[in-house]
């Protein structure tokens, strides 16, 4: 395969939505969305479609030891089909893999039995090999088309076509919880038993809400984006399945060997008044419990990065810093490292997958307990969306605040980290605080049944 990539300037737009709406119905259309102009912190939008090839991982069964990282090896081999000769550019993506890796893919990497009674039919991972992309840089307020000459002409033709007509999105029934409040509290008590018994220090326990729907998922994503703009959002849909992610959390970023992860642990809702909002933010930053949770996950991620980073290079430049979004306050830390020269970004992803902020500590035992207690497999929720560039650059999210569409139903999860001094009623309320606005955005005139 030969490469003659060119970087062509395009008109800059403050939002990627209009551009992506034209591409939305093409095969393999994908949007990695910075949430701009509403979301703080995001910088790049990456849009593409019509991949050269798509690779799916179907199996949800634990793999034999020699097969644990087989999906990541296959994806690495797919990535190597693209030419390495690309223009000298600081753009984040010059062709490569874009897609998702579900939380359930972690069952291949660790000794997890897979006990969930309800399993989504989505693949455990789905990535496309893309030889072109539109990239918007909201810091420089510039946009480019990265493509060879043939692709460039093809894409420009698509961009000049009108957006296709689509069916309006609507829920055909209300969101319903998979378990009652009492059911959640019983599982909370089970987690407390495991913590007191010394099995673990922290468990991230989630619950699922589901509703039937009809119409175009793209319209649903646009509603969700208006309700909760975030810097690590993304949209992927194919057939009757899709992932609509409004994540505030970066999982792994890798550029020129420098690795960064930004775990979130600790949440409060935004206040109704400025004084209430400030009080909630202060309560979060001074909470001994929330800081302890965050520090536990930082230690876990330091260990995960240490598997593939140069010895002594892992650092924590930011610990428990407040970040505020449209609907919640979060405590965010930053862990960095330098990737070993013999390791690839996909090996980094496999070494740290799934993210420690949505499992608990120690990770393997926490995942086993999650598998035992949660009645539904998590699918793409708590997995990752992102890209792996042909030059070895990577950026992925933690897919929280994420809706999964599967066979006419839309699923949302809310979860949180539980430790020894957690309170069941408070934790139950926190799971609702995290996704209530998403449910309301999809049913603006309907009363929620939660």
Would 450 be classed as within a structural domain? no
- pLDDT at residue number 116: 67
Is the confidence at residue 64, as pLDDT, over 70? no
Q: Read off the pLDDT of each residue in 155-160 and give the average, rounded to a whole number.
A: 96
pLDDT in tens, 260-298: 999 988 888 899 999 999 999 999 999 998 898 899 899
Is the confidence at residue 348, as pLDDT, over 60? yes
Using 50, 70 and 90 to split pLDDT, how confident is the model at 201? very high
Q: Is 342 a catalytic residue?
A: no
What whole-number distance in Å separates Cα of residue 335 and Cα of residue 349? 15
Would 16 be classed as within a structural domain? yes
DSSP designation for 265:
E
User: Rounded to two decimals, what is the model's pTM?
Assistant: 0.93
Contacts of 223 (CB under 8 A, 6+ apart): 169, 441, 442, 444
Using 50, 70 and 90 to split pLDDT, how confident is the model at 39? confident
Is the confidence at residue 120, as pLDDT, over 90? no
- pLDDT at residue number 447: 46
Q: Identify whether the C-beta of residue 117 lies closer than 8 Å to the C-beta of residue 376.
A: yes
- Pairing verdict, β 170-171 and 133-137: unpaired
Q: Read off the pLDDT of each residue in 11-22 and give the average, rounded to a whole number.
A: 96
Residues forming beta bridges with residue 409, ordered by sequence position: 212, 406
The residue from 18, 85, 110, 249 that is catalytic is 249
Would 56 be classed as within a structural domain? yes
Distances (CA, A) of 311 to 24, 219, 222, 306, 337: 44, 47, 44, 7, 9
Is the confidence at residue 61, as pLDDT, over 90? no
Q: Cis before residue 362, ω within 30 degrees of 0?
A: yes
The residue from 6, 85, 178, 265 that is catalytic is 265
Would 147 be classed as within a structural domain? yes
The SS3 call for residue 204 is strand
- pLDDT at residue number 265: 86
Q: Read off the pLDDT of each residue in 157-185 and give the average, rounded to a whole number.
A: 93
Instruction: Report phi then psi at 303, rounded to 5.
Output: -70, -45
Quote the radius of gyration of the chain (alpha carbons, Å). Answer: 21
pLDDT in tens, 380-402: 999 999 999 999 999 999 999 99
Would 211 be classed as within a structural domain? yes
* H-only helix segments in 307-375: 345-352, 363-373
DSSP E strand stretches across 223-277 = 232-238, 241-247, 250-255, 258-261, 264-269
pLDDT in tens, 216-259: 999 999 999 999 999 999 999 999 999 999 999 999 999 999 99
Quick one: tokens of 293?
Answer: 């949770």
Q: Identify whether the C-beta of residue 48 lies closer than 8 Å to the C-beta of residue 98.
A: yes
Q: Which of 53-57, 79-83, 318-322, 325-329 has the lowest mean pLDDT?
A: 325-329
Q: 197-224 burial, b if ≥16 CB within 10 A, otherwise e?
A: eeebbbbbbbbbbbbebeebbbbbbbbb
Would 139 be classed as within a structural domain? yes
Q: Is 363 a catalytic residue?
A: no
What whole-number distance in Å separates Cα of residue 296 and Cα of residue 420? 13
What whole-number distance in Å separates Cα of residue 136 and Cα of residue 252? 20
Is the confidence at residue 2, as pLDDT, over 70? no
Q: Read off the pLDDT of each residue in 128-132 and give the average, rounded to a whole number.
A: 98
**For position 424, which CATH number holds?**
3.60.120.10
Q: Residue 172 class from Cβ within 10 Å (0-12 exposed, 13-18 middle, 19+ buried)? A: exposed
What whole-number distance in Å separates Cα of residue 228 and Cα of residue 224? 6
Would 189 be classed as within a structural domain? yes
Using 50, 70 and 90 to split pLDDT, how confident is the model at 77? very high
The SS3 call for residue 346 is helix
Residues forming beta bridges with residue 208, ordered by sequence position: 413
Q: For the chain, what is the domain count?
A: 1
What whole-number distance in Å separates Cα of residue 176 and Cα of residue 412? 10
pLDDT in tens, 407-450: 999 999 999 999 999 999 999 998 998 899 999 999 866 444 44
Would 332 be classed as within a structural domain? yes
CA neighbor of 176 nearest in space, from 363, 443, 444, 445: 443
- pLDDT at residue number 285: 94
What whole-number distance in Å separates Cα of residue 11 and Cα of residue 144? 8
Q: For residue 1, how many other CB atoms are within 10 A of its CB?
A: 7
Mean pLDDT rounded to a whole number for the chain: 92
Check residues 144 and 60 and name the one with the higher pLDDT. 144
DSSP designation for 33:
E
Q: Read off the pLDDT of each residue in 141-162 and give the average, rounded to a whole number.
A: 95
Domain that holds residue 56: 6-442
CA neighbor of 166 nearest in space, from 239, 237, 216: 216
Q: Identify whether the C-beta of residue 337 lies closer than 8 Å to the C-beta of residue 315.
A: yes
- Pairing verdict, β 44-48 and 241-247: unpaired
- pLDDT at residue number 448: 43
Using 50, 70 and 90 to split pLDDT, how confident is the model at 59? low
What whole-number distance in Å separates Cα of residue 91 and Cα of residue 389? 10
């Amino acid at each position: 395969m030969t490469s003659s990539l060119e970087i062509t300037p395009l008109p800059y737009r403050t939002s990627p939505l209009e551009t992506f709406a034209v591409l939305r119905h093409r095969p393999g259309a994908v949007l990695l969305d910075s949430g701009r102009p509403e979301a703080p912190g995001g910088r790049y939008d990456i849009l593409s479609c019509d991949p050269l090839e798509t690779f799916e991982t179907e199996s949800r069964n634990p793999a034999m030891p020699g097969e644990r990282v087989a999906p990541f090896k296959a994806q690495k081999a797919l990535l190597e089909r693209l030419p390495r000769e690309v223009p000298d550019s600081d753009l984040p993506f010059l062709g490569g893999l874009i897609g998702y890796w579900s939380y359930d893919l972690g069952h291949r990497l660790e000794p997890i039995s897979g006990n969930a009674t309800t399993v989504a039919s989505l693949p455990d991972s789905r990535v496309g090999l893309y030889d072109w992309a539109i990239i918007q840089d909201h810091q420089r307020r510039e946009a480019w088309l990265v493509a060879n000459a043939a692709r460039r002409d093809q894409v420009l033709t698509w961009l000049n076509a009108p957006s296709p007509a689509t069916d309006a999105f609507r829920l055909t029934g209300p969101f319903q919880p998979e378990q009652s409040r009492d059911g959640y509290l019983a599982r909370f008590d089970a987690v407390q038993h495991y913590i007191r018994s010394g099995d673990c220090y922290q468990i991230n326990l989630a619950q699922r809400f589901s509703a039937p729907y009809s119409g175009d998922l793209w319209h649903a994503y646009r509603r969700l984006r208006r309700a909760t703009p975030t810097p690590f959002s993304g949209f992927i849909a194919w057939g009757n399945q899709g992932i609509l992610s409004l994540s505030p959390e970066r999982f792994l970023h890798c550029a020129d060997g420098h690795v960064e992860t930004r775990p979130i642990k600790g949440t409060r809702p935004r206040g109704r008044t400025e004084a209430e909002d400030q009080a909630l933010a202060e309560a979060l930053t001074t909470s001994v419990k929330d800081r302890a949770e965050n520090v536990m996950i930082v230690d876990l991620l330091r260990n995960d990065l240490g598997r593939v980073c140069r010895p002594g290079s892992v650092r924590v430049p930011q610990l428990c810093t407040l970040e505020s979004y449209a609907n919640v306050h979060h405590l965010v830390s930053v862990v960095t490292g330098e990737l070993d020269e013999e390791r690839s970004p996909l090996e980094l992803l496999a070494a740290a997958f799934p993210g420690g902020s949505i499992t608990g500590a120690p990770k393997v035992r926490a995942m086993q307990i999650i598998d035992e207690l949660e009645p539904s497999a998590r699918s793409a929720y708590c997995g990752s969306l992102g890209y792996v560039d042909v030059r070895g650059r990577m950026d992925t999210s933690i897919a929280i605040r994420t809706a999964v569409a599967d066979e006419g139903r839309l699923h949302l999860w809310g979860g949180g980290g539980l430790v020894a001094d957690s309170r069941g009623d408070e934790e139950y309320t926190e799971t609702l605080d995290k996704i209530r606005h998403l449910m309301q955005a999809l049913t603006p005139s309907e009363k929620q049944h939660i």
